[in-house]
A and B are shown apart, each in its own frame.
Chain A
Amino acid sequence: MEYLLGIDIGTSSTKTILFDTKGNIVASSVEGYPLHQPHIGWAEQDPEDWWHATVNTIQEVLAKSGVNSHQIKGIGLTGQMHGMVLLDKGHNVLRPAIIWCDQRTQRECEEITERVGKEQLIEVTANPALTGFTASKVMWVKNNQPHIFDRIDTILLPKDYIRFKLTGECATDVSDASGTQFLDVPNRKWSHKVLEKLDIPKEWMPELYESPVLSGKVSHGAAQITGLKMDTPVVAGGGDQATGAVGNGVVKSGIISSTIGTSGVIFAHMDKVGIDPHGRVHTFCHAIPGSWHIMGVTQSAGLSLQWMGDNFGGAERELASFMNLDPYELMSLEAEQAEPGCQGLIYLPYLMGERTPHLDPYARGVFFGITAKHNRSHMIRAVMEGVTYSLRDCLEIIRDMDVPIQDVRASGVGGKSKLWRQMQADIFGVSISSINTSAGSALGAALLAGVGVGIYENVNEACAATIEKVDRAEPIEDNSLIYNKYYPVYRRLYDDLSHSFKDIGLIQEELNALRHRGNE
């Protein structure tokens, strides 16, 4: 038997899954790590935490499966995108990684826009300057920690740090590199122009590959620590969005995925590169050579429900642990008690600012339209509906760019929950399917490895060999009618409140500044 290993360096945990060549999960292992928030809006992680989690989960997968490591034909890497890992000449980590959801770099974004020019930035990198993207994080270090900036030798993304630890190679792939803002996305190569304008040496950029291409082999040292066989091929892999799309079979025009993870993503395949001139949706290189993808992101999707659960779901957690259930299943049951539209209780999911469609780091969460009749079940359902309205925002922009929408595949929490699948069908007004696997990114990474080592001819073949549709939710007309009434209200709510968001944010910045001064 031949096997493929997918390793996904997520935001809350690393997930390592061993697949057979039919895409079946043979064994999997997850290990979590902390997210550090030294200030409001900051988000950092320790790359060593990722590596420890990777080592432990590989060991556990090998132990659980009983598979001999020489049967593992290839390894695919994937992970959270945009995170900045800085290495010095000796390949030591220079500071904690500043990860995708960190919001400290508004000023740097302005600086990047000014240096490169707004239009050129969108033309070349396919995106406006965004706080989440790597470039602004590097510029922040330049502006605020010059002693660290001066020692930079290599800039890596999260999964690429794991590649370095496994193989000793500093490399990345085009899909993940699309999230750095250093890549010339239409031409699939580092943009010397952007790097020059930002005064960042191009030597700091790692080797760049297409996703299914071999990038290195497991080193002797890594083999000893992990139990993998030395020289096992490691392919370039992809950012979690691109590999997640592969794992969902979003590898052809007309297929769209809707993924509710920590963030929520609407993802479409494109045969030709297309760019939203407003930069509200992101155009990235896909993990399939010669194709691109377009992506709308709602920053706090599953995160919203998690926030709700963490703060208000104590009883559900207790009961769930007693009944050996997922607490979110219980929250889902509560949500079902409320009617579609929640009698006008509307939630804006902007707990971490928002990307699509507002590009507004000041945006904040809102519960709006509350009356004395509303109870807990309405609040929970409103969160799910608000996240789904936000995904519809993404879908509408993609629709306006003439991308065909034929088959929307739900995955993540939104794919697992029957309620949420139906809600998506009702709010999007299209049928929603789900597929036979929920391994998502890790499967996509493993399939890329399978292509790289020649088990499958290409990515499309790999998906055809492993993925089938299993469930379909059609829109219920009565529900769509209600949602179509509230969606415009949802849309206007942001417009009406955006200046208040800014006011709140400015007061907060003022208070932070006062506090800093007080501490000095």
Chain B
Amino acid sequence: MYFIGIDLGTSAVKILLMDKDGIIKKSVSREYPISFPRPGWSEQNPEDWYEQTKDGLRELLSDIDKTKVKGIGFGGQMHGLVVLDKDDNVIRPAILWNDGRTVQETEYLNQEIGKDKLSDYTANIAFAGFTAPKILWMKKHEPENFKRISKIMLPKDYIAYKLTGIHCTDPSDASGTLLFDVKNKCWSKEMMAICGVTEEQLPTVYESYQVVGTVKEDIVKEFGLDKDVKVVAGAGDNAAAAVGTGTVGEGKCNVSLGTSGTIFISSKKFRVDKNNALHSFAHADGNYHLMGVVLSAASCNKWWMEDILRTTDFAGEQKNINNLGTNQVYFLPYLMGERSPHNDPNARGAFIGMTMGTSRKDMTLAMMEGVAFAIRDSYEIAKSLGIDVERTKMCGGGAKSPLWRKILANILNLKVDILAVEEGPALGGAMLAAVGCGVYSSVEEIAEKIVKVTETVEPDPEIVALYDKRYRVFKSIYPSVKDLFQEMQTQD
């Protein structure tokens, strides 16, 4: 029995084939272009996604017993706006998550509608990347296109629609639209009214592991598949990746240090913090999750090593650093502004506290600690909402650094688990398909059976105590320089 996971990423689609025991048999990927028609704009053509997905599937299925494929699931880039007319034609290129054209619309939502109301309706506040501001932008700037909208969907949902003919989405991805009432898992009437859309235009919401339909006949034929291949709704990339790392159920945690960093905490209860510092989203396991985003994580390391030190020997620079907890230098990792918890696009990075005795290693350590402190900022908020977390997983490029693992374990005071395989959202998508096909009774069950930890880093109580002190200093720095960030912005 095989399951296919499709991760519709920003630069490429990754597709993998998993057997019922969670063994990954094969994986392929196909790239597609991204266009930046104006500075700050970022678009992709949904037809490219579909063409490349089909091309990838052909390769994936080329030398296996196709009849053993039982289900397909998704992970995908979130927030992107895909609009179809009544004849299912794509009206305009998809506006992606990293598109920045919606500054005014975002401000309108946060200031004029108000964060309190948004939080009331959706459990979140507006970000330029979210879908609702994109809809408002289209309404204002492309009224003709706007009038033609028959179906609104998210990127991965376009693939599901093409494969099954079902207009669907899932709660985790829907949470990133700002049209979705996360707590009650339904479309928000208020938000629909604000954006000028109707429920008919929006996709039907299925749980991520629920079957939405079967693959259409012509596609079955085209690929030589069994005629009853089930398609599940899938999940947004963060939630799908969390399934792949077993971050499901109550109080599970995963820290991913990729270009940006995330801390993802799953919760059986709906929770939201009063400042909306964390995203409060529905999860792919049928529950909820909180997520903090550090915009520059492993990218701080890459910047420091490549642009400042001008070295490629990252590991060499980190070797023999062993003064954890006693470094006197602090680093604010806000090289691209910051999301959680400050929501401050003007924030900038800083090294603070150097003396003549400060060495290159101290600076490197400070940089890595700064990222971990920023993750702790989000973790502290989650804790304050009453979530009990005992250990965390760690993945992404940053997890390859033994030093960063140790720093994170001690700064968060959590055991840090490193996973045997790190396959990202595609694996989560396949796992959701396996649950949908009834091989496992729940997302929690499959995660428990197939996610394997290879190494655990334990915090050291002495170092933890030292870092607690230093964290208090770290926390006090941003508020004292916040106004300067703003001032510098107006000078540029």
Chain A contact residues, CB within 8 Å of chain B = 37, 40-41, 300, 303, 307, 311-312, 315, 343-344, 351-352, 364-372, 374-376, 379, 485-486, 489, 492-493, 496-497, 499-501, 503-504, 507-508, 511
Q: How far is the CB of B463 from chain A (nearest CB, A)?
A: 12
Sorted nearest first, the 7 A-B pairs with minimum C-beta distance are: A365-B354, A370-B349, A375-B307, A311-B360, A367-B351, A372-B335, A368-B350
Q: Once the chains bind, are B363 and A344 in contact (CB under 8 Å)? A: no
Contact A500-B476, Cβ < 8 Å, known A311-B359, A344-B492, A370-B348 = yes
Q: How far is the CB of B53 from chain A (nearest CB, A)?
A: 32
14 pairs, A vs B, C-beta closer than 8 Å: A311-B358, A344-B491, A351-B356, A352-B356, A368-B484, A369-B349, A369-B488, A372-B299, A376-B309, A496-B480, A497-B477, A507-B470, A507-B473, A511-B326
Nearest B residue (CB) for A366 = B352
Does B147 reach chain A (CB closer than 8 Å)?
A: no
Q: Once the chains bind, are B484 and A303 in contact (CB under 8 Å)? A: no
1/0 contact string of B469-480 vs chain A (CB within 8 Å): 110110011001
When chains A and B are docked, how far (Å) is the Cα of A122 from the Cα of B488? 38
Query: Which residues on the A side are within 8 Å of B484 (C-beta)?
Result: 368, 489, 492-493, 496
Which residues B189-240 have CB closer than 8 A to chain A?
A: none
Does B38 reach chain A (CB closer than 8 Å)?
A: no
Does B353 reach chain A (CB closer than 8 Å)?
A: yes
Nearest B residue (CB) for A370 = B349
When chains A and B are docked, how far (Å) is the Cα of A497 from the Cα of B354? 13
Q: Once the chains bind, are A371 and B336 in contact (CB under 8 Å)? A: yes
Q: A307-B354, A344-B491, A503-B472 are in contact. List 6 more A-B contacts (CB 8 A).
A: A40-B355, A312-B309, A365-B355, A489-B484, A497-B480, A503-B476
When chains A and B are docked, how far (Å) is the Cα of A180 from the Cα of B383? 56
- Majority-rule SS of A interface residues: helix
Tell which of B296, B352, B466, B473 touches A372, judged by Cβ atoms closer than 8 Å. Answer: B296
Query: Which residues on the B side are within 8 Å of A307 (C-beta)?
Result: 354, 356, 358
Query: Which residues on the A side are within 8 Å of B37 (C-beta)?
Result: none
Query: Which residues on the B side are within 8 Å of A311 (C-beta)?
Result: 358-360, 363
Nearest B residue (CB) for A500 = B477
When chains A and B are docked, how far (Å) is the Cα of A41 from the Cα of B476? 25
Does B108 reach chain A (CB closer than 8 Å)?
A: no
Tell which of B303, B310, B326, B353 touches A501, judged by Cβ atoms closer than 8 Å. Answer: B353
When chains A and B are docked, how far (Å) is the Cα of A105 from the Cα of B135? 65
Query: Which residues on the A side are within 8 Å of B299 (C-beta)?
Result: 372
1/0 contact string of B316-358 vs chain A (CB within 8 Å): 0000000000101010000110000000000011111111111
Nearest A residue (CB) for B491 = A485
When chains A and B are docked, how far (Å) is the Cα of A502 from the Cα of B267? 40
When chains A and B are docked, how far (Å) is the Cα of A108 from the Cα of B309? 41
Q: Once the chains bind, are B349 and A371 in contact (CB under 8 Å)? A: yes
Does B487 reach chain A (CB closer than 8 Å)?
A: yes
Q: How far is the CB of B271 from chain A (nearest CB, A)?
A: 32
When chains A and B are docked, how far (Å) is the Cα of A511 from the Cα of B480? 25
Tell which of A368, A508, A511 touches B348, judged by Cβ atoms closer than 8 Å. Answer: A368
Query: Which residues on the A side are within 8 Å of B335 (C-beta)?
Result: 370-372
Q: Once the chains bind, are B349 and A300 in contact (CB under 8 Å)? A: no
Does B385 reach chain A (CB closer than 8 Å)?
A: no
Number of interface residues, chain B, beta carbon within 8 A: 42
Tell which of A37, A485, A497, A504 touches B328, judged by Cβ atoms closer than 8 Å. Answer: A504
Nearest A residue (CB) for B337 = A371
Q: How far is the CB of A263 from chain B (nearest CB, A)?
A: 12
Q: Once the chains bind, are B470 and A40 in contact (CB under 8 Å)? A: no
Q: Once the chains bind, are B310 and A364 in contact (CB under 8 Å)? A: no
When chains A and B are docked, how far (Å) is the Cα of A159 from the Cα of B355? 28
Does B481 reach chain A (CB closer than 8 Å)?
A: yes
Q: Once the chains bind, are B348 and A493 in contact (CB under 8 Å)? A: no
Residue of B303, B330, B355 with most chain A CB atoms under a 10 A cut-off = B355
Tell which of A303, A372, A379, A496 touches B356, judged by Cβ atoms closer than 8 Å. Answer: A303
Nearest B residue (CB) for A367 = B351
Contact A489-B355, Cβ < 8 Å, known A372-B299, A379-B308, A511-B326 = no
Residue of A303, A343, A369, A493 with most chain B CB atoms under a 10 A cut-off = A369
Tell which of A351, A496, A508, A511 touches B354, judged by Cβ atoms closer than 8 Å. Answer: A351
Q: Once the chains bind, are B360 and A312 in contact (CB under 8 Å)? A: yes
Query: Which residues on the B side are within 8 Å of A511 (C-beta)?
Result: 326, 466
Q: How far is the CB of B258 from chain A (nearest CB, A)?
A: 15
When chains A and B are docked, how far (Å) is the Cα of A371 from the Cα of B333? 9
Q: Once the chains bind, are A371 and B481 in contact (CB under 8 Å)? A: no
Query: Which residues on the A side are within 8 Å of B491 (C-beta)?
Result: 344, 485-486, 489
Nearest A residue (CB) for B307 = A375
Q: Once the chains bind, are A364 and B354 in contact (CB under 8 Å)? A: yes
Q: Once the chains bind, are A364 and B353 in contact (CB under 8 Å)? A: yes
Which residues B3-47 have CB closer than 8 A to chain A?
A: none
Query: Which residues on the B side are within 8 Å of A489 (C-beta)?
Result: 484, 487-488, 491
Contact A365-B353, Cβ < 8 Å, known A311-B359, A315-B310, A379-B308 = yes
Q: Once the chains bind, are B360 and A40 in contact (CB under 8 Å)? A: no
When chains A and B are docked, how far (Å) is the Cα of A368 from the Cα of B484? 10
Residue of B310, B352, B359 with most chain A CB atoms under a 10 A cut-off = B352
Q: Once the chains bind, are A500 and B352 in contact (CB under 8 Å)? A: yes
Query: Which residues on the A side are within 8 Å of B349 (C-beta)?
Result: 369-371
Query: Which residues on the B side are within 8 Å of A303 (C-beta)?
Result: 356
Query: Which residues on the A side are within 8 Å of B469 (C-beta)?
Result: 507
Nearest B residue (CB) for A496 = B480
Contact A367-B355, Cβ < 8 Å, known A379-B308, A493-B484 = no
Q: Once the chains bind, are A503 and B356 in contact (CB under 8 Å)? A: no
When chains A and B are docked, how far (Å) is the Cα of A492 from the Cα of B491? 15
When chains A and B are docked, how far (Å) is the Cα of A145 from the Cα of B296? 51
Contact A376-B355, Cβ < 8 Å, known A369-B350, A489-B488, A493-B481 = no
When chains A and B are docked, how far (Å) is the Cα of A367 from the Cα of B332? 10
Q: Once the chains bind, are A366 and B350 in contact (CB under 8 Å)? A: yes
Contact A375-B308, Cβ < 8 Å, known A303-B356, A311-B360, A500-B480 = yes
Query: Which residues on the A side are within 8 Å of B357 (C-beta)?
Result: 37, 40
Nearest B residue (CB) for A303 = B356
Contact A496-B481, Cβ < 8 Å, known A37-B357, A365-B358, A504-B353 = yes
Tell which of A315, A366, A370, A499 touches B353, judged by Cβ atoms closer than 8 Å. Answer: A366
Query: Which residues on the A side are within 8 Å of B488 (C-beta)?
Result: 344, 369, 489
When chains A and B are docked, how far (Å) is the Cα of A369 from the Cα of B352? 11
Which residues B441-492 have CB closer than 8 A to chain A?
A: 466, 469-470, 472-473, 476-477, 480-481, 483-485, 487-488, 491-492
Query: Which residues on the B side are within 8 Å of A492 (C-beta)?
Result: 484
Residue of B299, B303, B326, B488 with most chain A CB atoms under a 10 A cut-off = B488
Q: How far is the CB of A220 from chain B (nearest CB, A)?
A: 42
Q: Once the chains bind, are A499 and B480 in contact (CB under 8 Å)? A: yes
Query: Which residues on the B side are within 8 Å of A504 (C-beta)?
Result: 328, 330, 352-353, 473
Q: How far is the CB of B320 from chain A (nearest CB, A)?
A: 15
Query: Which residues on the A side are within 8 Å of B483 (C-beta)?
Result: 496
When chains A and B are docked, how far (Å) is the Cα of A507 from the Cα of B476? 14
Query: Which residues on the A side are within 8 Å of B470 (C-beta)?
Result: 507
Nearest A residue (CB) for B303 = A372
Query: Which residues on the B side are within 8 Å of A499 (C-beta)?
Result: 476, 480
Tell which of B308, B472, B487 touches A376, judged by Cβ atoms closer than 8 Å. Answer: B308
Q: Once the chains bind, are A300 and B356 in contact (CB under 8 Å)? A: yes
Query: Which residues on the B side are within 8 Å of A343 (C-beta)?
Result: 492
Q: Once the chains bind, are A508 and B328 in contact (CB under 8 Å)? A: yes
Query: Which residues on the B side are within 8 Å of A364 (C-beta)?
Result: 328, 352-355
When chains A and B are docked, how far (Å) is the Cα of A493 from the Cα of B487? 12
Query: Which residues on the B side are within 8 Å of A497 (C-beta)?
Result: 352, 477, 480-481
Query: Which residues on the A side are within 8 Å of B481 (C-beta)?
Result: 368, 493, 496-497
Nearest A residue (CB) for B482 = A496
Q: How far is the CB of A368 from chain B (nearest CB, A)?
A: 4
Q: How far is the CB of B198 from chain A (nearest CB, A)?
A: 41
When chains A and B are docked, how far (Å) is the Cα of A291 from the Cα of B330? 46
Q: Once the chains bind, are A366 and B351 in contact (CB under 8 Å)? A: yes
Q: How far is the CB of A330 from chain B (nearest CB, A)?
A: 13
Q: How far is the CB of B451 from chain A (nearest CB, A)?
A: 33
Contact A369-B309, Cβ < 8 Å, known A496-B484, A507-B469, A507-B470 = no
